[in-house]
Structure 1
Amino acid sequence: MDTGLFYEPRPNGVERLPTALQMFHTTPRLMRADHWHAQVEVNYVVRGWAHYHMAGHEARFEAGDFALFWGGQPHRLDDASEDLVYAGGHLPLVHFFRLRLPADVQARLMQGATLLSNATDAADPVNFERWVNYARSGDPMKASLAVDELLLRIERLRFSPYRLLPETGPVSDDGGLDQHTSPIVVRICDFIADNFREEIDSVDIAVAADIHPKYAMTVFKKSTGMTLNDYINLMRLSYAQALLMRDETSVLAVAMDSGFGSLSAFNKAFRKISGTSPSDFRREVRGRPIVADGGYN
């Protein structure tokens, strides 16, 4: 693939809008650096192949492969065929937790695993193209149908052969989500999505979800592998990442606008996920060629 142009986020891209459902059908650009976003990513390779560097493992997707992974783990598309075309979407956790997946699969995904299946057929490229068109139509009914149909397609993966990468031993099933806890997690995610740039804590979240704060923390940790504070910070860091990549505002202004109470807290959280400081990250990405709209999104 031509490496003369690299991925750059758009103002309304997946990092800047971590709570939005986004669908794509495109030829993506390679990435020079990892990125992350607070959605589960769905990839279907229409043509060619793609190679990802994930947090802790490598993954290669071939034509006809269906893949699912948690975008909150730093990852990058670092190699691909010249003819690569892929389709898919970025699912906010409010949608992901509507899925009826096996508990071990859900747990492994949230811990950074990649689900990969080649049990696809000729209907998949047609369906993905329709879902993208529906999601981008501006018609709320069509957008809702696109989400529902995509979720059903993902759920069908459990009835076909699939792999979890890296291929380690199975994760113990500690109960996973059930019909009682899933709506609670969705309510928690909804509240955080609407308020992550504000000063919020477990009490605020619990009140919004109509549960006890301790129960809110327990259910969320069991379901996602993250603490409430981890998830709030991830949402803020996803938003901040996009500001650093594109905007000219100071690092301090980015920290404040993203919901961090201090520059030191922002620097510590950013270095934890990226391995570098916000300033160094900005210098690195500003050295990349700018890509016109229409690249990976």
Structure 2
Amino acid sequence: MAESKMVDGAICQPGATSIEGMPTRLHFFHAHPPIMLRAHWHAQVEVNYMMRGSVHYRMAGHDLRLHAGQICLFWGGQPHRMVESSDDSLYAGAHLPLVHFFRMRLPPAISAMLMGGATMLTSETDCADDRNFPRWRNWASSGDEAKARHAVEELLLRVERMFMEPYTIVSSGKECKAENASTSPSLGVERMCDFIAGNYLEEIDTIDIAAAAGLHPKYAMNLFRRSTGMTLIKYVTLLRLSRAQAMLMNGDDSILQVALDSGFGSVSAFNKAFRQIAGMPPSDFRRDVRAAIR
């Protein structure tokens, strides 16, 4: 497949923003979507509303073209890359940490499908979305706590509405229509995500996480896996890898220091985990990205 048609246009360098470096924070955006030099990942669910133009994503298991008037939802923990962006493109949206994602009343199967690499896509949008998405970003960055809180609540309700209307599931190059389903929110999962967000750089295990949510460890592990399609430890590791990715891009710390500051107990554990998601050791990742920048 051809590379981006905007090689001379705006470029996004993964790791250069706080998205990867602070994976437990909610980020709003409203901008021209720049193409990306390489795939990146971040431990948030990404909400994209295409206001104008079109973009082309390469996901871990499928390609996705997003056109004006469409909203998509996908798990940022899967490596993904924007390879095309039209000259007139403009999008808005947010990166939702799981602690926010699990506050929503979504069909029970949705979270596991997202974590498994599927993208949810809808064309059921209107002029209210054109007004609201930019406003939510402005309110979130206004410094007014009431407005910021309101922006988050409105965004979560908007995402909930996405699953009350027709939407499409895109996965491994295939699309299928989804049926409406009952909802089953779990306060236990939200509590686990909240604890992990505040402690993922520390030495924590499933017992600590379960205790913070008031759950038996075995039940907590099963509940989290049913809800997300991944284990508790995999989620903790992904948060650490997201932070490490940004550190490798933005600093000159040694690989050992990056590993320790990202919550890993050893360089060997860090190298193994990083290679699994990036397909290369962290030293090669840093070298290749900096060569691309030059």
Q: Which residue matches 2:140?
A: 135
In the TM superposition, residue 103 of structure 1 has moved relative to its aligned partner by: 1.9
Range that drifts further, 19-28 or 4-13: 4-13
Establish whether residue 45 from structure 1 lines up as the match of residue 45 from structure 2: no
Distance (whole Å) between structure 1 residues aligned to residue 182 and residue 254 of structure 2: 42
Q: Which residue matches 2:28?
A: 23
- CA deviations over 1:212-263 (Å, ceiling 9, x no partner): 1111111111111111110010000000000011111111110010000000
| C-alpha contact 1:176 1:222 (8 A) present in aligned 2 | no
In the TM superposition, residue 139 of structure 1 has moved relative to its aligned partner by: 1.6
In the TM superposition, residue 2 of structure 1 has moved relative to its aligned partner by: 3.5
Tell me: CA distance 1:172–1:83, structure 2 relative to 1, closer, same or farther (3 Å).
closer
Q: Mapping of 1:91-102 within 5 angstroms?
A: 91-102=96-107
Tell me: CA distance 1:10–1:226, structure 2 relative to 1, closer, same or farther (3 Å).
closer
Tell me: CA distance 1:243–1:147, structure 2 relative to 1, closer, same or farther (3 Å).
same
- CA deviations over 1:249-282 (Å, ceiling 9, x no partner): 1111100100000000000000101111101111
Q: Mapping of 1:57-136 within 5 angstroms?
A: 57-136=62-141
Q: Which residue matches 1:185?
A: 189
Establish whether residue 151 from structure 1 lines up as the match of residue 156 from structure 2: yes
Q: Mapping of 1:259-278 within 5 angstroms?
A: 259-278=263-282
Q: Which residue matches 1:13?
A: 18
Tell me: CA distance 1:168–1:122, structure 2 relative to 1, closer, same or farther (3 Å).
closer
Tell me: CA distance 1:240–1:10, structure 2 relative to 1, closer, same or farther (3 Å).
closer
Q: Which residue matches 1:250?
A: 254
| C-alpha contact 1:104 1:176 (8 A) present in aligned 2 | no
Q: Which residue matches 2:244?
A: 240
- CA deviations over 1:143-164 (Å, ceiling 9, x no partner): 1111110111111112322111
Q: Which amino acid aligns with 2:226?
A: K
Q: Which residue matches 2:218?
A: 214
The one of 202, 221, 228 aligned to 1:224 = 228
In the TM superposition, residue 106 of structure 1 has moved relative to its aligned partner by: 2.7
In the TM superposition, residue 38 of structure 1 has moved relative to its aligned partner by: 0.5
| C-alpha contact 1:240 1:258 (8 A) present in aligned 2 | yes
In the TM superposition, residue 142 of structure 1 has moved relative to its aligned partner by: 1.0
Distance (whole Å) between structure 2 residues aligned to residue 148 and residue 96 of structure 1: 11
Distance (whole Å) between structure 2 residues aligned to residue 14 and residue 247 of structure 1: 16
Q: TM-score, normalised by structure 1?
A: 0.91
Establish whether residue 283 from structure 1 lines up as the match of residue 291 from structure 2: no
Distance (whole Å) between structure 2 residues aligned to residue 51 and residue 147 of structure 1: 27
Q: Which amino acid aligns with 1:199?
A: E
Greater RCO structure (CA 8 Å; 6+ sep): 1
Q: Which amino acid aligns with 2:38?
A: A
Q: Which amino acid aligns with 1:109?
A: L
Distance (whole Å) between structure 2 residues aligned to residue 217 and residue 66 of structure 1: 32
Q: Which residue matches 1:294?
A: none
Distance (whole Å) between structure 1 residues aligned to residue 89 and residue 182 of structure 2: 36
Distance (whole Å) between structure 2 residues aligned to residue 30 and residue 210 of structure 1: 44
The one of 205, 209, 225 aligned to 1:205 = 209
Distance (whole Å) between structure 1 residues aligned to residue 179 and residue 218 of structure 2: 24
Q: Which amino acid aligns with 1:114?
A: T
- CA deviations over 1:164-220 (Å, ceiling 9, x no partner): 1023679999x99735xx111111011111111111111111111111111111111
Q: Which amino acid aligns with 1:235?
A: L
Structure 2, unaligned stretches of length 5 or more?
none
| Percent identical residues | 55
Tell me: CA distance 1:191–1:177, structure 2 relative to 1, closer, same or farther (3 Å).
farther
Say how many residue pairs are matched: 287
